[in-house]
Amino acid sequence: MRDVNIGSSNFTKVFATDEPALGYNACHHYVVAFSDGVAVVGDETPPAQVRFQDGPIKEFGVNGCHQEDLLAIVIDRLKSFQSGDFACRENALAITKLEEAMHWLNHRTQVRVSRGVEGTNIK
């Protein structure tokens, strides 16, 4: 288990719980744990677990979520805050940057689709 160590860890910490995959150099399983160490592993239920797609969809089918799924959740949540009492400039800026990230990830996918390599291990 590896501490991701990105962002604040005041209340929670993010851990990668598997080894990076060969070729991708990316992990597929993550756990969000309370900063006090509870719910990292064991009987306690962690605040969140994320399992990403492992392997090409054309070979393994859909078996996990994608980065875009998590971005969609965060964008939706921040937009909800913006429609209520917690609207602020920082949320608006974060939404803009997250939507930009979503754009570029979708662009990458469309380029792969047009090349006929989406869902495969071909670069």
Q: What is the pLDDT of residues 54-111, one digit of tens each?
A: 988 888 999 999 999 999 999 999 999 999 999 999 999 999 999 999 999 999 999 9
- CA–CA distance, 95 with 86 (Å, rounded to integer): 14
- CA–CA distance, 95 with 8 (Å, rounded to integer): 19
Between 50 and 120, the more confident residue is: 50
Q: Which two tokens stand for residue 95?
A: 């939404």
pTM of the model: 0.84
Q: Find tokens 């677990």 and name the residue.
A: 49
Q: Delimit the domains of the chain by residue range.
A: 1-65, 66-116
- Give the end-to-end CA distance of the chain in Å, rounded to a whole number: 29
